[in-house]
Structure 1
Amino acid sequence: MQLQSKFLRKTLLAVAVGLAMQSALAIEPFPVRDIRVEGLQRVEAGTVFASMPVRVGDTYSDDKAAASIRALFALGLFKDVRIEVNADVLVVIVEERPSIADVDFSGTKEFDKDVLKKALRDIGLAEGRPFDKALVDRAEQELKNQYISRSMYAAEVVTTVTPIERNRVNLSFSVIEGDTAKISEIRIVGNKAFSESALRGQFDQDTGSWLSWYTKSNRYSRTKLNADIESLRSYYLTRGYLEFRVDSTQVAISPNKQDVSITINVTEGERFVVSKIQLQGNYLGKEEEFQSLIAIKAGEAYNVDQVTQTTKAFTDYFGNFGYAFARTQVRTEIDRTTNRVDIILQADPSRRAYVRRINVAGNDRTRDEVIRREFRQLEAAWYDGEKIRQSRNRVDRLGYFKEVSLETQEVADAPDQVDLTVKVEEKPTGSISLGAGLSSSDGLGLQFGFKQENAFGSGSSLGMEINTSKYNRTLVLSTTNPYITEDGVSRTIDVYQRTSKPYTDIDSYSLETAGASVRFGVPITDSDTIFLGGGVDRTTIVTGSYLPAVYQTFANEYGYTVNAYPLTVGWSRDTRDSALVPSTGKVMRTSGEWSVAGDLRYVRGTAQYQQFFPLSKKTTLAFNGEIALGAGTTSMSYPVFKNFYAGGLGSVRGFEQGSLTTAAQRAADQATTDALATGGAKKINFNAEILTPLPGGGNDRTLRMYGFFDAGGIYGTNESIQLGDLRTSVGIGISWISPVGPLRLAFAKPINKFENDKIQTMQFQIGTSF
């Protein structure tokens, strides 16, 4: 009791002293006659005056002084702020923070210094900015996080602050990166229905392979792990395991921070079979149409992909009638005694809407009109889901953008209106194509091409092709305007000059061809286009030694210089899911050429068919077939200059490009050691490929290997197509979607070949897709 009394007396005494001091320090309010600022070096006095809530003529108070100090500290420019009163004058005394003179990095091999400087600038740490220790600590931690994101857990960052003259400092971040931590083990615990290796095969991350230096698949990433877990969940949910769940995930790092071990604990649950599918809700009286859209199959295992496909099809179909806000909910009724599940699809079309405005975002280079002219959905028209999907796909097929997305926003205070926003992410649209062939007889031949698909953001294309091989020199210039009319009619203009000199002797013969053409493309549907055009073509035989008999015969019949004025017609259809790495869909093309005037009279045509079949998630089977025919239309023969050629990439790999000969050519040249390929009036070509990710490349579809079988042949005007005359080859290759375009490297072994055929066992090309 006595102790409590003493403590109470001391407490009351302390409170009394504090009140007395506060009373002594407090200043009676007074009108401020002047405000002075001391201690400024770089900061303008106006910045201080503008930040303070006290002005000359205001009544001073302790509260305003405290508010002034808080406001000046909030600027982040000062280490210390004090306010003193001298009569009726306020004196603001500040101590400025030092400014940052230089930011430097040492030991950073994983990141570019300019990238790091930009990252620090974004958080306020840059040259000329005030030095803030808190920001430095934050920057140091951010650097460590960047290294952790690349599995470099042993990275250490040491910051050195060096004061220099004029109240400035230099910042130096010294980094010891250490080695990259590798995934040493991935374990899946609790699996019974599928093997652990089969489940790990769904992951992009792995414990490493010979290609890990490229794929970096053995570097741990939390983002990638989350994606792998979703792939694992999808694997089970598409195979009937409706109640599958991931119980926990443990990531352990070894004491030396070099090895990462991942353990995923799962509960599979039972496998369920769909017993029936029911429709509930409002289907606009079109239940039969919606029934036809159901991808779920009764009697088969529950498949979440089929459920998602069905709900998306329902939403899209509602959208076709203007119901932009339609929702389809999925309910499941599980019978665990029989392991069967009923699926109930509950639909709510909500309300009908029309599109008020269409906005375009992200097109820094491409003009708005280039995107808007692809739209089939119009502003102030009823919302049409099918037209909106067509619009999005048409913009995507332009090939100018990495990503195209559509967002629908409700309009405030207008429940029957929506705005559409098209968001695009632009990509470089210039491409370079390179081609080469290596043979023991002819050495290295090079081809070069350049094309800008979206010149100046206009949607028009400009292209150039150059061939610098020893025997064939080519220069081709082309331009395409995809919209010369509002209906989407395109126009292509080509100008070309080709010189062929099969022998290097100065006095040997050569062929010179020059011409120009114009072609119009008329769209019939979103995937079908008809082409119409015409041109002028002039060919000259420059006489000299080694002139083949076929050319001399042609000159005797037509002359050494001939002109032709061909008309062209064509049709194409493309339904592939991707132009670069297709896994499904087909391509069909036909084209015809008819010379109606000039010295030559002929017709020639080609037909091509490609189809892609997905054998699995990773493997694709591809077929390509092509046939071409030409004939004279008068009593004069078919001109040799219009022959078709075969051999090489895109035809029969393992043979030099365009080197295959007809039976007549082989018979005429069997006494020589260098059979001359002058093409033929008929051509047939067949290719089959199986493409799969490169072993060790995980699921990366941009780097794949393929095995192939090729067959093809060339035939003269009076020769029938004999399958026994086809050249054939087999081989393997690597396909890589490189930064400059698709690259293909092929190693081929001819199976059926003839004497004097020109063999190329290795060929590569940049810019080809099959």
Structure 2
Amino acid sequence: MKKYRRLFIILLIMLLQPIAQAFETFVIEDIRLKGLKRIEAGTVFNYLPVTVGQPFSQEEAKTAISILFKTGFFKNVRLERDGNILIVRVEERPAISKMTFTGNEEIETEDLTRSLKTIGFAEGRLFNRSLLEKVTLELQRQYFDLGRYAVQVKSTVTPLSRNRVAIKIDISEGVIARIKKINFVGNHTISDDELLDEIKSSTTGWFSFFTKNDKYSRPQMAADVEVLRSYYLDRGYINFNIDSTQVSITPDKKEVYITINLTEGDKYTISQVKLLGNFGIPKPELLDKISIKAGNLFSRKQIIKSQEAIKERIGDEGYYFANINAVPDIDPDKKTVALSFFIDQGKRVYVRRINFKGNTKTRDEVLRREMRQMEGGWISTRDVKRSLARLERLGYFEQVTVETPRVPNTDDQVDINYTVVEQPSSNIMASIGYAQTQGIVFNGSLTQENFLGSGKRVSLTFNNSQVNTTYSFSYFNPYLTIDGVSRGFNVFYRSTDAEEANLSRYTTDAYGTAINYGLPITEYNNINFGAAFDHTTLKQTDFTADEVLDFIEDNGDSYNSYRLNARLRYDTRNRALFPSKGMLQSIRAEVALPFSDLSYYKLTYRHQWLYPFTKDYIFLFKGQLGFGEGYGDNDNLPFFENFTAGGPRTVRGFRENSLGPPDSEGRPFGGNLKVVGNAELIMPIPFLEKVRSVRFSAFVDVGNVYGTGEEFDNSQLRYSTGLSLITLTPLGLLSFSYAIPLKSQENDELERFQFTIGTTFNW
């Protein structure tokens, strides 16, 4: 290499020597440029190291030629002299007029173009043939990262008019190399199978066609190595190390053998946990935030979790930029670690301004009233996050993000910037859906969830199915007062055919109105109370059951009802639809007043708890309890107010509304006591892990309905298990489930596959 470099220098000197010898030192009176086509003269003069009036010698000539060559603009530079005039004659490199790719399917053309631009190879740039080799290497690198080691890249340069060229790059991608074997060397305490379960890379299996986990990828392998490192460091192996990762490719470049050499080391336990530094919070309170204790195995995960908990707690007091460093003191003889958390709380930080961006329709005040962090006060990590959650729960935005930049030239002030992405909140919608119990469902609505950007909801709705025909108008103001008192009202007409809902044979016509107020008690608790009036007309059919006929004989077929209702609600969920964590508890009481034609009361309790025990898996537990009874002149709950169970919303695998005691005709009649419980494991769907609007789960359901006079008997509970898929579409929620009844009785109506399209859940 040195030999060729020396030869190049000699040749360069020989080429420059005649030019240098042709010049005797003279004072430049003028400089003229020859050969420029696209490059501006000013650009050349900026690089040229000589000016008019300056002596010009052999050394200046060599320097000028060298500098102009280094710009990369020219493929030939020559200096000439005409009297005392210096003539710079250049030949420009051609420009890349067009660049095309063929054969690329795995990587988009836009991505290839963007990557080549980073190395200076793009349309409009000057063509440098020496860069073609870099282009080939860059494209090969990208395909190697995808496991396509048989890729071939060929480039063709076609000269065009006006000193331009067209570049065509032909790519033969080849097949992705599949993983044939993964070997671990050095693991003595943890088996190969356990380690393979932790990483995503795998040999070909039953689901590899969908997961693609058997295709080798360099970035994925790097991620797997970090997963293994975390796995060991979270289990006490503080000296764990990945010694090397060897990848062998077969000659046909279709199969890969991976060998991971590692050193496990010994397990270490925590001998002591200390807090050091300056912190204005009681020490016992911060120690409670530390999840790793003396006697526990060393765990990097728990150390990071403890650091974050301490930082968040200190951040609640305004010390937003506090530094928390965990320093281990390792005792190799005792195999223990003394852990010290050093805390530097820094200065207390105050909020100068809270800004909102992206709310093109929603008024600023609608967002600002959701803020729990105030301007002018010190910043609180908890309040910033809670404000973010409240904005997400409004339902007006596709996405909400927050940033807390420092105020320039200060060290104790920040601005809080919330950026939102508006989603359609007003629509005229006509849709059609289908439910197994309701048949074809026609919906028409004129809805403004965020009326004129004020946060108020106005809706005019029409619904028609085999079960119900409904017309309604509703209005809701979530902030009747600045303190968050809400008010809403609605008027409706509804016609119901109970037989089509798989219930006893009767029909009802009802109309009425209701008004409701909401009052926030705490950040997560609120109480709703309201009043309602409705008029119901009950109609029998040719096959109406005796229970219905007896009720009409005793009470007539037309009823006015004046009801009061109240609900206490506790809700910490992070989202209203498809939440991933938090809890919902709701207790509702409804009573028909004594001067109503029918006097009764109903009590309902609902519970929902979501616990994300890993990043991608969530436990969901739900429960429903309902009880109703008549009072005064009515001994029993009116049968058309009965609770029902069975179907997609309660106990899947059983036909909707079919559980509970039957009427005299053998059809479901419902009951005055309802008990339902659901347990689900929500799991990610390959390739859709980041999509919020799809939810897949495995579930176990239990429940039943008990009639008037019956006591709760757990032996009568029905059980089922299965899989569920729910997704949000423009038609509404689509729900699919396949359930296997685990406990049923002879007369139960089973329905393993159930689905609804274009209907929503009141959960």
TM above 0.5: yes
Q: Deviations over 1:538-584 (max 9, x none)?
A: 54556665455555556566665655454432222234578778787
Partner residue in 1 for 2:523: 526
1:213-292 pair list within 5 angstroms: 213-284=209-280, 286-292=282-288
Matches of 2:710 and 2:482, distance apart in 1: 47
CA distance, structure 2, for counterparts of residue 39 and residue 232 of structure 1: 59
Residues 413, 699 of structure 1: alpha-carbon distance in 2 compared, 3 angstrom cutoff: closer
Q: Does the Cα contact within 8 Å between 1:434 and 1:765 map onto a contact in 2? A: no
Aligned CA distance change for structure 1 residues 188 and 460 (closer, same or farther; 3 Å): farther
Between 391-400 and 428-437, the greater mean CA deviation after superposition: 428-437
Residue in 2 that maps onto 1:645: 644
Report deviation, 1:195. Answer: 1.5
Q: Provide the rounded CA distance (Å) in 1 between the counterparts of 2:464 and 2:132.
A: 57
* Matched residue, 1:195: 191
Please name the residue that 1:20 is paired with.
Answer: 21
Which of 685, 688, 704 is the aligned partner of 2:679?
A: 688
Q: Normalised by the size of structure 1, how large is the TM-score?
A: 0.76
Distance 1:12 1:72 in 2: 16
* Cα pair distance change 1:181/1:476, threshold 3 Å: farther
Report if the CA contact (8 A) 2:358-2:420 is conserved.
yes
- The answer to whether the 8 A contact 1:705-1:732 is kept is no
Q: Within 5 A, what are the aligned runs for 1:539-550? A: 539-541=536-538, 545-547=542-544
Give 2:566's aligned residue.
569
Which residue number in structure 2 is paired with residue 378 of structure 1? 374
1:728 to 718, 721, 738: 718
Letter in 2 for 1:290: L
Q: Does 1:205 align with 2:201?
A: yes
SS at match of 1:227: helix
Q: Which letter maps to 2:21? A: A
In the other structure, the counterpart of 1:150 is: 146
Higher RCO structure (Cα 8 Å, ≥6 apart): 1
- Between the aligned partners of 1:465 and 1:210, the Cα distance in structure 2 is 48
Which residue identity lines up with residue 675 of structure 2 in the other structure?
I
Cα distance in 1, alignment partners of residues 673 and 13 from structure 2: 114
Question: Residue 27 and residue 595 in structure 1: after superposition, are their counterparts in 2 closer, same or farther (change >3 A)?
Answer: farther
User: Partners of 1:626 and 1:692 in 2: how far apart?
Assistant: 23
* Residue 621 of structure 1: how far off its partner (Å): 5.3
Cα shift readout 1:297-342 (whole Å, capped 9, x = no counterpart): 2223223333333333333333333333433332322332222222
Counterpart in the other structure of 2:6? none
Q: Is residue 707–residue 730 contact of structure 1 (8 Å, CA) maintained in 2? A: no
Q: Is 1:735–1:742's contact at 8 Å kept on the other side of the alignment?
A: no
Of residues 693, 709, 734, the one that matches 1:719 is 709
Of 174, 179, 185, which residue of structure 2 is paired with 1:183? 179
What per-residue deviation string (whole Å, max 9, x for no partner) do you get for residues 250-291 of structure 1? 333333332333333222222122222233333447333333
Deviations 1:642-693 (A, max 9, x none): 3322111121111222233424x1xx014xxxx2x45333322123345667
Indicate the residue corresponding to 1:590 in structure 2.
587
8 Å Cα contact 1:693-1:701 kept in structure 2: no
The amino acid that maps onto 1:239 is: R
Alpha-carbon shift at residue 21 of structure 1 (Å): 0.6
Alignment of 1:667-706 (within 5 A): 668-670=664-666, 675=667, 677-689=668-680
Cα 1:311–1:722 change in 2 (3 A) is: closer
Question: Percent of pairs identical after alignment?
Answer: 32
Q: Secondary structure of 1:713's match? A: strand
Partners of 1:12 and 1:647 in 2: CA distance: 93
SS at match of 1:317: helix
- Whole-angstrom distance in 2 between the partners of 1:341 and 1:704: 42
**Which residue is equivalent to 2:606?**
608
Deviates more, 1:582-591 or 1:427-436: 427-436
From the superposition, tell whether residues 223 and 435 of structure 1 become closer, same or farther in structure 2 (CA, over 3 Å).
farther
- Give the stretch that moved more between structures: 195-204 or 752-761: 752-761
How many residue pairs match? The answer is 731
Note if contact 1:645-1:679 (Cα within 8 Å) is conserved in structure 2. yes
Residues in 2 aligned to 1:549 and 1:377: alpha-carbon distance in whole angstroms: 62
Shift of 1:361: 6.1
- Measured after TM superposition, the shift of residue 198 of structure 1 is 1.4
- Please report the TM-score for the alignment, with normalisation by the length of structure 2: 0.76
**Which residue in 2 is equivalent to 1:3?**
none
Q: Compared with structure 1, are the counterparts of its residues 468 and 168 closer, same or farther at alpha carbon in structure 2 (3 Å cutoff)?
A: farther
Instruction: Give the corresponding residue for 1:658.
Output: 657
Q: How does 1:270-349 map to 2 (within 5 A)?
A: 270-284=266-280, 286-349=282-345
CA drift of 1:179 comes to 2.0
Q: Distance in 2 between matches of 1:737 and 1:186?
A: 37
Following the alignment from structure 1 to structure 2, what is the Cα–Cα distance between the partners of residues 15 and 104? Answer: 39
The one-letter amino acid paired with 1:729 is Y
Give secondary structure in 2 for the equivalent of 1:684: strand
1:705-747 CA deviation, whole Å, 9 max, x = no partner? 755443322344x332342684513222144778889876432
Compared with structure 1, are the counterparts of its residues 214 and 240 closer, same or farther at alpha carbon in structure 2 (3 Å cutoff)? same
State the 1:201 CA deviation. Answer: 1.8
* Aligned pair partner of 1:355 in 351, 354, 357: 351
Secondary structure of residue in 2 paired with 1:377:
coil
1-structure distance, mates of 2:372, 2:588: 29
Partner secondary structure for residue 414 of structure 1: coil
- Structure-2 separation of matches of 1:157 and 1:334: 52
User: Equivalent residue for 1:7?
Assistant: none
C-alpha deviation, 1:352, in angstroms: 2.8
Q: Deviations over 1:441-468 (max 9, x none)?
A: x796669899997789876678898877
* Residues 518 and 527 in structure 2, CA contact (< 8 A), matched pair in contact too: yes
Aligned position for 1:4: none
Who is 2:8 aligned against? none
- Mind listing any 5+ residue stretches in structure 2 that lack a counterpart? 1-11
Distance across 2 between alignment mates of 1:570 and 1:371: 26
**In structure 2, what is the Cα distance between the partners aligned to 1:275 and 1:692?**
37
Quick check: 1:581–1:701 contact (8 Å CA) kept in 2?
no
CA-CA distance at 1:419 after TM superposition: 1.0
CA deviation after TM superposition for structure 1 residue 194, in Å: 1.6
Q: Is 1:710 the equivalent of 2:701?
A: yes
In the TM superposition, what whole-angstrom CA distance separates every residue of 1:29-64 from its partner, at most 9, and x where no partner exists? 4469xx999886xx7x9x66798669xxx9588999
Deviation at 1:203, TM superposition (A): 1.8
Say if 1:707 and 1:731, in contact at 8 Å, map to a contact too: yes
Contact 1:580–1:737 at 8 Å: present in 2 too?
Answer: no
Whole-angstrom CA distance in 1 between matches of 2:688 and 2:197? 8
CA contact under 8 A between 2:151 and 2:172: conserved in structure 1?
Answer: yes
Q: Measure the CA separation in 2 of the matches of 1:240 and 1:587.
A: 37
Inter-CA distance 633–131: structure 2 relative to 1 (3 Å threshold): farther
Mapped to 1, the partners of 2:72 and 2:454 lie a distance apart of: 47
- The alpha-carbon deviation at position 373 of structure 1 amounts to 3.6
Give yes or no for contact 2:96–2:165 (8 Å, CA) kept in 1.
Answer: yes
Contact preservation (8 Å) 1:509, 1:545: no
- Contact map agreement 2:355 2:417 (CA 8 A) in 1: yes
Answer yes or no: is the 8 Å Cα contact 1:377–1:391 preserved in 2: yes
Once residues 493 and 48 of structure 1 are traced to their aligned partners in structure 2, the CA distance between those partners, rounded to angstroms, is 76
- Cα separation, 2, equivalents of 1:559 and 1:73: 104
Greater Cα shift, 197-206 or 696-705: 696-705
